[in-house]
Structure 1
Amino acid sequence: MLLNRANILFLIVMLLSGWINAQHIFKTKTQKGFEALEIHNYFKAKQLFEKAIKKNKIAAGYGLSIIYARNNNPFYNLDSAVFYIQLADSNYVFLSPKKKEKLCEINIDILAIQHQLKHVDSLCFEKAILQHSIDGYNHFIVTNKNALQHNEAIKHRNALSFQVARDQQHSSAITNFITRYPDANEIQWAEKLLDSLIYKEYTTPLSIQNLEKFLVEQPSNAFFSIAEEQLYEIATQSKTENAYFSFIQKYPNNTHSSRAWRNIYSILTSDYNPESIKKFIKKYPQYPYLHELEKDFQLAKAVFYPFMKNNKWGFLDEHLKEVIPATYQFINPFYEGVAAVKMNNKIGFIDKSNKITVPFKYDEAENFINGLAVVGINEKFGIINKVGEEIVPLIYDEIGTTKNQFISVELDEKYGFIDRSGKLVVGLEYESVGYFNNGLAYVKKNNLYGIIDTNLYYVVKHQFDWIDNLDNDFIRVRKNELYGVINSKGEVVLPIVFQQITEPENGLVIIVKDNLYGYVNTKGDVLIPLTLPYTEGVLNWALFNNQGYARYAVDNKMGLIDTTGKKFLPALFEDVGVVSKKLIAIKRNGKWGYCDYNAKLKIPYNFSSVSFFKNGLSIASSNYKYGLINETGTFVLNPIFDNLQWFNDTFLLVEKEGLVGLISIDNKEIVPIKFKKIQLTTDKKFIQLENENELIYQPIDTISNP
């Protein structure tokens, strides 16, 4: 039906009245909700806000977030607190200015919403920190997307995830971490760890087969070079020429094939002899460093002499030309083509071209013998080869000479033997061991000595209280305070019945029994029976000299006997000295003179000391000063020197006030008396002149009597 004007007006009034009443109800619910919230009536506040949430998401959401964020009510739930404040925040932006003004009337604006949002984020982050779990951090990261702590939570989550993956110690766990969190700060560590774990998984147990597989399938792995080295170490562990060459043939592309080649060269030219180098080239024409060998060949023939300048050491060649500058704190002579040198208080090795072959890292080092050298750091010792490889790790307290097939070692006061590859062939079970000499070494166990051979078999079981060195086939032994002698087969040479037995001296040995002494040869044959009275000192002064004479005593007087026991010079003297071509040095009343072979005095007792006659002259002293006398006892060189000795057949080494020089027999100066030490080089080509800060040379053929 048609509405008249009055009806239309009434309808408008009623509509306006309904809207006004609705607004009044809305304001009342939210206001009452906040009033209830203010007095901590959380049940009523929650009920009011939930009724209003559909029509006013902002105010009601804000209120509900406050309720859920407080832990002093049963509705405490941070997830709900986040949800409702995010709901309020996301809807606020769409409000008209007029509606925003209305919200301000109940103290809600963007600042209040943001403050609550930050507060809730902070509470959620604290919860995640306390929980400290991957799920907890992930929940925060997903739920609190725009939180200030979002990146921090990601860092914590990533760090914890890496820790969990790392603790599993398996490559799959690390791979999952890298895939899941590619931007994590730990990604570099993870990638390194992944390489390590892959290497470990491939190479456990460590074997040639496993290493080969790893090298084929993991060429980009960070542990590739380590695997190459370990393959080299295992494949060449016998340290022999054949092992190194087999490695080169099987693994030509391995980085360490060059080391294998150099080790072959070192083994075959250990004596650093030109002939050895020639033989090596003939055997291995494919050697990749042939270009170096011409220089090596020339250097192998060269003789180098150490010299010192300004307290630093270097080397000169045969022309006294400086070939290695004086830059080292100390040097040893060249052995087997290399020399131990010291720099910055550490020892390394150089070759004759001054190239460093072994780095400067050792506190102690011995010379190379048969291609190996003993080295030490912090009083722990090992063995290296000429390439610088540590054949034996630095773990031992002592290591014997490397000249033998088996090398003695000591650790914690227990001794054993290793082979030349470093393998322990005789366990650390002995109280003491000796070096191998002539294929034998003594071993001590339970305070008794025995002898083993190079096959490590016992030649003599443990039975002696003491065993002498094994330098010859005359081995002295002691048992129950008595001495005897055995040979290298363990056979008895002299029974264990003697009080004393000396070392062989010029082929003869003193034996003592029942306070009598006599002489035997090294076969045990008696040359002079046990008839001579034993007195203290016999073992020192009664040994035979190289002329076949020995002192003997009667009533505290000395004479000489020959090797048959015949008295060559009667026992008439206080002491008897050297036997020269015509004269014998004799002593009476504390002074020395000379008699002939018939004991007739030829040179009176005028001297404090005398020596043998050489070319008709003898060094003698008077009042503790030395000079030269002739065969009549006349000084031809006055006794004015603190010491005097023959330097060669022509010159005399003289000493005054702690300094030495050279003179002729007629006292003409050859080298000034101003050096600390003068000696001939081993090849007798040069005179070596040494002072505290200087060591120089002078060719022997340039020195002549002025």
Structure 2
Amino acid sequence: MHRPTFYNLTLLFLLLQSAWAMAQTKPSAKPTGNKAWLKDYNDYREYDDIYVVKKVTIPCRSYETFITDKNGRKLTPAYRDIGDFAEGVAEFVPMELDAEGHGLHGFIDKRGKIVIEPKYISTDRFRDGKTWVIYPSGKHYGLSYIDLTGKEIYRIPIHHFTSNYLIKDSDIDFLCNQDTKEDVLWWIQRPMDFWLLNFNFSRFIEKEIKASKFIYHFLYKGKYGIIDKNMMLKIPVALDDIDPEYKFSGQGMERVRYGDKYGYISPFTGDLIVPFDYTDTRKPTNGLFWVKKNGKWGCIDKTGKLRIAHLYDEATGFTSENRSAVAINGKFGHIDKSGKIRTPLKYDFASYFNHGISMIRIDDKYGYMDTTGRFITEIIYDEALPFDRTTTAVERSWLRFELSLDGKEQFIGFSYKLNAVFIIIGVLIFIWLNNLLYQRVLKKRLVRKPKKQG
């Protein structure tokens, strides 16, 4: 579970800026022989027996791109741009823009056939049979991964990240004459500091990610993202906290925080299992997670399904006795994992069960009950502790006892309070005796003092 900080985005942006400034497209090489027709184009790239050619009329404003055969015969209509071929297809942007004036991105094969319709705001070349695509999704721009047929492999649950990657906050830009070099930016501080949905990694980090066992946590500008070993971003770079050490997680779910709310992801796949609905959580016990919503505690299972309604002001984890201590309006009792009340909520305090025993308080006195509700002691103790071991310590009438699981007492000493009283009395007696002794010594000295001669 690694958390490196990345600077390659800034480097990438500097390179793009440089390329933009220099983007007066030039021919790739001077055509000769039967390729003389290539001189009609400002740029071309050769792929086996086809060419991708571009004619620039007004740099950065008016240009056309085609696929041609080796004799210059056009295999496609004019497109704004065609990217590099990878795995048999290339990204392309048609001449027509969308209603907002943005280019739409799709993919064509080497014969010029459209294999994935142009409908995305941004995308990239295929790698290992997949690529990412960005598109409008409600108030956000969303990101998905698709295969070579255009089928969606995974969709980031962007709608749960209500404050990030909003369309209204975004800028869409591309390199001069190269519409396929288009991306969506969310500026932090111009001209170098920005966020991207399609996060870029260095080759070193990419190798490290692919070598990870399950998911990979990464940190960028104070925010966390989650990517899997197949290089698919599962959670965008928006998380405020993660828990790979399992301090608050377990049983197949890892707690994550977005803003002031908690949710859970799979530590194996990175999928968001539980949305960011909860203001507090507790470490899971016996297959259930206590989660707090609207000021009340309830329970979900490891699939995120609500098992116990949000009713309780206080709640403890479920112990092996299938009990949790809960409270409503200051009154405590116990429930089981089905949510059924097993001890009425009528006590001033009830502890968790351990070794089959719970500590109960009524007014200022304590006693102990078992899982059937039977009291193994009377409610007589002034001080008490839960049964964290097979015995516990209790106190009544200034005397201390060791209490066993069957409720039997064994005297072990006086109350700490009584001991403190004895100590105080002892100190007072010592001071009184010391003062009495001092007075007697002083009196004897005065009696022995000789009278002055006249």
Greater RCO (CA < 8 Å, at least 6 residues apart): 2
Q: Which has the higher helix share?
A: 1
The structure number with the bigger radius of gyration is 1
- In terms of fraction of residues, the more strand-rich structure is 2
Output the TM-score relative to the length of structure 2: 0.46
- Normalised to the residue count of structure 1, the TM-score between the two structures is 0.31
